[in-house]
Amino acid sequence: MKALSVGALAELMQECLPHTRTLPATGDDLLDSSFRELGFDSLAMVQFAEALQDKLKVVISDPELDRIATPRDVLEYVHGRPPRDRDADR
């Protein structure tokens, strides 16, 4: 599996959004925004997970995908750290 840079992640995310939408944030603002804030609905998230699998050979199961809330979570997951259990934070 390859490392995933912030720029490559942003490009992949943009590919999964409808062509009429663009990512409204960059840098840390992008990494810490929720996918919902960035315009991702459930279909876009599934497409994004499939794109990660195709390009990086990383599989994100449905339960894991449900716990991934931000692009930073994706980077952590891809680089070998499981997503945080956000319910435990409450």
| 6-19 residue pLDDT tens | 999 999 999 998 87
DSSP reduced 3-state for 61: coil
Report the residue count for the chain. 90
pLDDT at residue 2, as a whole number: 59
The answer to whether the CB of 32 falls within 8 A of the CB of 40 is: no
- pTM equals 0.79
Spatial distance between the Cα atoms of 49 and 54, rounded to a whole number of angstroms: 9
Q: How confident is the model at residue 33 (pLDDT cuts 50, 70, 90)?
A: very high
